[in-house]
Amino acid sequence: MKGAYLDHASATPVRKEALDTMLPYFSEKYGNPSNVYDMGSKIRQVVEEQRAMVADLIGATAAEIIFTSSGAEANNLAIKGVAFARQKKGKHVIVSAIEHHSVLNSARFLERMDFEATFLAVDEFGCVDPNRLAKAITPETVLVSIMHANNEIGTIEPIVELAAVCKEKGIIFHTDAVASVGNTSVDVNELNVDLLSLSGASLGAPKGIGALYFNKKIRLMPLIHGGIQENGRRAGTENVPAIVGLGKAAQLAIKELPEKESHVRRLRDRLVQGILERVEKVTFTGHLVNRLPGHASFCFESVEGEALIFMLAQAGIYTNTGSACASKALKTSPVLGAIGIRADLAQGSTVFTLNARTTKEEIDYVLEALPPVVDRLRSMSPIWGKEMPEYAEDVCH
């Protein structure tokens, strides 16, 4: 049966090179990096080499990288860690309204801890306006967190401009780059950010590993207390095999990124053009130009995204609604609500994410199989062909 896997933002296979490099660290080279004898110190050295490889990928130095269990943990550490460390200076944080839940819910958690949080509005493409950010800053603001690229609509934010606003006012700036590292070029010096989160799963490393870049001048309150791992900033015996996988995946990404970007961009453009030509009443979401190269997102009118995902899966095509709210909580995605998509239209959200393994044949198969599936769902829809009110409602916060 023909098929297409276009849900690489959810899960992507571990690179064979990464897996091969990891395997000895499960059973042959199992020493604890904290041990002082040679079995441990050799592993410590390996961990530090991987740290340098991850740092290289984003233009950082090894001492500026903290390994975490995921991108979500890196986001939690950045937001809560900075907020708690700086709470004597002020108790106000700013995040955008379209952040990943690990950022949004960290900010909401801080609200419960007597901080104030501002959830910054975005424009119709999902972009945060630097002027709007400047106006939201108060003397109490200690941290701003704006994602580098949005996982649901693919938009790349103007991080350089946003970070500059914060630098000028002496406010710490964090960016969640989980969706972008490994998919487009990311350099902490060019972006001029103080903290940046990344995830191994986006890079072809295994799930369960991430990293936080932090400017060494920043104080960070640890969230996990215990031993001396990660220089006392994140306790817990290191997940050495996963760290080795992340290091290898980072090394491969540095070498392969330019070719990957051009490959996925070409196929993504073919997919977008093909869908817009073949399917009527479909809205392309996110920024038209400033977006992740392998990312295409749409809202199909009068179609339930969830139903579309299931029917496509029956045809061997794997995509995503892009939002846990839409998929599991049966609510409208906060991201689509924030960019002004009507609640009924937002229900038809479908996100396609490509990677270096994606082929032209997969894209052409999607273009062949998708239109009849959309037609079939619309033929069963009670709202197809009816006028809908022009407002967004029932947004999941």
Partner 1 sequence: MKFVEDQSSDDTLDLVCRMCPMHLLEPGERLKCMKTGQVLEVLTDYDGALDDIPEWCKKCGHEFIGIEEDEDCYKLYIKKKK
* Residue ranges binding partner 1 (CB under 8 A): 81, 84-85, 88, 217, 219-222, 225, 228, 231-233
Q: What is the 3-state secondary structure (H, E, C) of 265-316?
A: HHHHHHHHHHHHHHCCCEEECCCCCCECCCEEEEEECCCCHHHHHHHHHHCC
Nearer Cβ to partner 1, position 85 or 137? 85
Round to whole Å and give the CA distance between 209 and 217.
Answer: 24
Nearest Cα to 79, choosing from 124, 155, 145?
Answer: 145
381 Cα distance to chain centroid: 33
Q: Is 166 a catalytic residue?
A: no
Other beta carbons within 10 angstroms of residue 198's beta carbon come to: 31
Nearer Cβ to partner 1, position 85 or 254? 85
Nearer Cβ to partner 1, position 85 or 134? 85
Other beta carbons within 10 angstroms of residue 170's beta carbon come to: 9
Nearest Cα to 12, choosing from 355, 293, 324, 363?
Answer: 355
Q: Shortest approach of partner 1 to residue 92 CB, angstroms?
A: 18
Nearer Cβ to partner 1, position 45 or 359? 45
Token digits for 123?
Answer: 């424009």
Nearer Cβ to partner 1, position 228 or 289? 228
Nearer Cβ to partner 1, position 220 or 367? 220
* Cα atoms in the Cβ-side hemisphere of radius 13 Å centred on 182: 28
Q: Shortest approach of partner 1 to residue 198 CB, angstroms?
A: 22
Nearer Cβ to partner 1, position 81 or 294? 81
- Tell me the backbone φ, ψ of residue 112, rounded to 5 degrees: -70, -20
Q: Shortest approach of partner 1 to residue 221 CB, angstroms?
A: 5
Q: Shortest approach of partner 1 to residue 232 CB, angstroms?
A: 4
Q: Shortest approach of partner 1 to residue 51 CB, angstroms?
A: 16
Q: Shortest approach of partner 1 to residue 225 CB, angstroms?
A: 6
Token digits for 330?
Answer: 């049966």
Which is catalytic among the residues 166, 299, 325, 396? 325
Round to whole Å and give the CA distance between 183 and 195.
Answer: 19
Spell 119-148 as b/e; 16+ CB within 10 A means b: bbebeebbbbebebbeebbeeebbbbbbbb
Q: Shortest approach of partner 1 to residue 88 CB, angstroms?
A: 6
Active-site amino acid positions? 325
